[in-house]
Amino acid sequence: MFTPLLVLFGIFTALLSTASPVEKRASRTSPPSGAVVVKNPAASGQFSTIQAAINSLPNDSSARTIFIFPGTYSEQVSITRTGPTTILGSTTDTTSYTSNSVTITHSLSAAAAGNDDSSGTLRVHKDNFSMYNVNVRNTFGVGSQALALSSYGNNIGYYGCGFYGYQDTVLANEGNQYFGVDYIEGAVDFIFGQHARVFFQRNVIASVAAGAITADGPTSASDTSLFVINRSTVQTSTAAKTDLTGKVFLGRPWTQWARVAFTNTNLGALINGAGWEIWSTATPNTAAVTFAEFGNTGTGASGTRASFSKKLSSTSGFNAADVLGSNWTSWVDQAYV
């Protein structure tokens, strides 16, 4: 007579054991079983730097997790291992970036590093990577490109993270990538890339100075690069030193095949009425761009838009499955959709 109850209990226990740490609890302040641990100062069996923890992982197909205790870690981090890798930052609220207690920070310009990618505070060159509740900063500031994040790979997800820089904050350059409930801050071309298909969902995108938010640069008409910012908020950063009303653009075309769409997003008064701008007077790069909008709200959603942009009648072609592929729900954490 107790068999149905026992079966139900078994199913419930199995579900709990397979749920991710994010799904199981709103707070994550201790490492899950089997995780490599970063803490400064480190105790026995722990690592004091994130790079040391990454270097300790085998370069094989095994799935590995790194848990980081609260702190500011001043280092440049590179991740290239083959197997699925997850980084978890300690937080009292996994559902947002607002309670993040882990920060990776570094100051390096692309001019000094030799190229954009090499300047990244966090450099991810791998498939099957996820990061939760970690802030990443490049503190170089004005004067050169200086990346917080350089991201190359398929099935990459950033959840509840914060990315802070000035010029070229986030480089999403190859593969299918997802940014869910993140904060991205910068001034000039601070979301950019050339070959990636990227979906930004429920992000806060904040400008610290006048400039364009996105700069997509596919290298040919056949390049399928596409950035879609959906159900997000575009606003002036609290770090801005001047009034930005009308001084920020949704994007400019790094090449003439740039493809960017803002959909169902609240655009603050910082967005210029034209919405989009040319790359430069000498090189407008507008011949074959796709700069599109649908369902946006807020003061910045109104105005006479640039002639090379368009308003969509629906989000067809710009939904998550269109951007990331029909299997996107198999690798994107649905808690951040």
Task: Please give the pLDDT value at position 138.
Answer: 98
Task: Please give the pLDDT value at position 198.
Answer: 98
Q: What is the pTM of this model?
A: 0.93
Task: Please give the pLDDT value at position 13.
Answer: 39
Q: Alpha-carbon distance 124 to 273, whole Å?
A: 36
Task: Please give the pLDDT value at position 23.
Answer: 46
Element (H, E) at 177: strand 176-180
Walking along the chain (337 residues) 10 residues at a time, the average pLDDT comes out as 37 37 70 97 96 98 98 98 98 98 98 98 98 98 98 98 98 98 98 98 98 98 98 98 98 98 98 98 98 98 98 98 98 98
C-alpha distances in angstroms, 195 versus 58, 90, 198, 242, 308? Answer: 29, 32, 10, 34, 21
Token pair recorded at residue 181: 């409930």
pLDDT, tens only, 37-72:
999 999 999 999 999 999 999 999 999 999 999 999
Query: Any idea which residue has 């997000």 for tokens?
Result: 232
Task: Please give the pLDDT value at position 4.
Answer: 40
The residues that are catalytic are 189
CA 297-291-195 angle, to 5 degrees, is: 120
- Find out whether 102 and 134 touch, Cβ atoms under 8 Å: yes
pLDDT, tens only, 249-291:
999 999 999 999 999 999 999 999 999 999 999 999 999 999 9
